[in-house]
Amino acid sequence: DVKVTQSSRYLVKRTGEKVFLECVQDMDHENMFWYRQDPGLGLRLIYFSYDVKMKEKGDIPEGYSVSREKKERFSLILESASTNQTSMYLCASSLRPETKEKLFFGSGTQLSVL
Amino acid sequence: DQQVKQNSPSLSVQEGRISILNCDYTNSMFDYFLWYKKYPAEGPTFLISISSIKDKNEDGRFTVFLNKSAKHLSLHIVPSQPGDSAVYFCAAISYDKVIFGPGTSLSVIP
C-alpha cells in the first residue's frame, strides 16, 4: 500500500513564525501535492510538483512556498504564518502526471496560527 | 466562484437504505470525475471515478451517474452501512487540475 506520511498531526504556531510542513511518500511517485481543507470550501490546491526541484503554483499559492529536493519528500513552507493560514493541510501523491486522479493522501496536519 | 458544488453539507440515511450524494459542476471542459471519502483524522481516499464518455460506473455498493447535459453527477450507495458515515468529496479534472467540491457529510443511522 502507498503510504504518505505527514510529519505532524497537530501544530500550533505564532503569527509571523516560519512554519515547515513535511511530507514523505514511499512508493516512488512522481507527483506530489499540497492542499488545504477548510469548511465549506473543500480541498484547495496550494502547490504541486511533477519532479524533483520542480514546482508549480496551484490555486492559492500566496503566502506559501515549497521545496522538493528529493523525489519522496515535498515540504510546504509558510514564510510568515498568519491567522488566516489556520487550516487542515493535506499532502498527496500520485504515480505519474496522467494518473493525477488517483491521489493518495496523508492523514493531514491541523495547523493553528495564534 | 466554485466550479464544483455539493449543495448538501450533510445527509442522514437509515442503515440499509439508499444514500444519494449530489454534485454539480460549471466547467464543460471537465473530462473526468471522482469521489473521495474522508473519515475524521484521516486523509481522503479514492472511492470511484467516471470518465465523461460514460454515464454510469459501478463498483459494488457504489454507483456514480453522470449527466453531462445537466453538468450533474451523483453517487449512490446501496445498501448504506454505518461504516459509510464519512465526508464525501466530489472532484473534477480538466487537463492538469483536480478541483474538489466542499464535501457532504453522510451519517448512516443504525
Over range B22-49, report the average pLDDT: 92
Which of A41, A102, A107 lies at the smallest CB-CB distance from B102? A41
Whether the per-residue pLDDT at B65 is higher than 60: the answer is yes
Structure confidence at residue A23 as a pLDDT band (50, 70, 90): very high
- Whole-Å CA distances, A28 to A2, A4, A56, A104, B45: 9, 11, 19, 12, 19
- Give chain A's mean pLDDT: 91
Q: Which residues in chain B (90-109) have CB-CB distances under 8 A to chain A? A: 91, 93, 96-98, 100-103
Upstream peptide bond of B40 is cis (omega within 30 degrees of 0): no
Q: What is the pLDDT of residue A99?
A: 56
Q: Would the CB atoms of B97 and A45 count as touching at under 8 Å? A: yes
| Strand boundaries in A1-103, DSSP class E | 4-6, 10-13, 19-21, 23-25, 31-38, 42-49, 56-57, 64-70, 73-78, 87-94
Q: What is the pLDDT of residue B93?
A: 85
pLDDT per position as a tens digit, A52-86: 988 999 989 999 999 999 999 999 999 999 999 99
Which of A39, A92, A100 lies at the smallest CB-CB distance from B93? A100
Asked if B39 and B86 touch (Cβ cutoff 8 Å), the reply is: yes
Q: What is the pLDDT of residue A24?
A: 97
- What are the residues whose beta carbons fall under 8 Å from the beta carbon of B62, sequence distance 6 or more? B35, B47, B48, B75, B76, B77
Cβ of residue B23 closer than 8 Å to a chain A Cβ? no
| Strand boundaries in chain B, DSSP class E | 4-5, 10-14, 19-25, 32-38, 45-51, 56-59, 62-67, 72-77, 86-94, 97-100, 104-109
Cβ of residue B49 closer than 8 Å to a chain A Cβ? yes
Q: Would the CB atoms of B43 and A4 count as touching at under 8 Å? A: yes
Q: What residues in B contact A9, CB-CB < 8 Å? A: 41
Instruction: Provide the shortest C-alpha distance from residue B102 to chain A (in Å).
Output: 4
Q: Would the CB atoms of B43 and A102 count as touching at under 8 Å? A: no
Which of B89, B93, B96 lies at the smallest CB-CB distance from A43? B89
Over range B41-59, report the average pLDDT: 92
